[in-house]
Amino acid sequence: MATKTKLSVRPMGDRVIIASLPQEEKTKGGIILPDTDKEKPQQGEVVAVGKGKMTDTGELLEMTVAVGDKVLYGKYSGTEVKIDGETYLIVKESEILAVIG
């Protein structure tokens, strides 16, 4: 089920808008990483969800993630967009690998 958010954008179908969580600035050994060496984030928080996927028979499959869920997604998944000055990632629900916690 779609949930209202503070965003001015609502994802369509089975798409989800994710805000990336901050990456670690240091390695486990204590080495500080420069911006150029940081990997693309793979964790984020769901900030908006679509209504769900429509099947060939016209049945609506509801979303299994909800606003506020922390998720893991593939390194090169989705499309980055700027909305209201912030950078978000729009992915299909099938590109989400796991819900954290």
Q: What integer pLDDT is reported at residue 7 of this predicted model?
A: 77
- Segments forming the whole domain that contains residue 45: 41-65+72-101
Q: Half-sphere exposure (CA, 13 Å, Cβ side) for 3? A: 16
Q: Domain for residue 15, yes or no? A: no
Q: Domain for residue 32, yes or no? A: no
E strands, the chain, in order: 15-20, 43-49, 53-54, 60-61, 70-73, 79-83, 86-92, 96-100
The whole-angstrom separation of Cα 65 and Cα 80 is 19
pLDDT profile of the chain (101 residues), mean per 10 = 62 94 66 58 90 93 94 91 90 94 79
Q: What integer pLDDT is reported at residue 57 of this predicted model?
A: 94
Q: Domain for residue 7, yes or no? A: no
Q: What 8-state DSSP symbol labels residue 37?
A: G
What is the pTM (predicted TM-score) of this model? Answer: 0.76
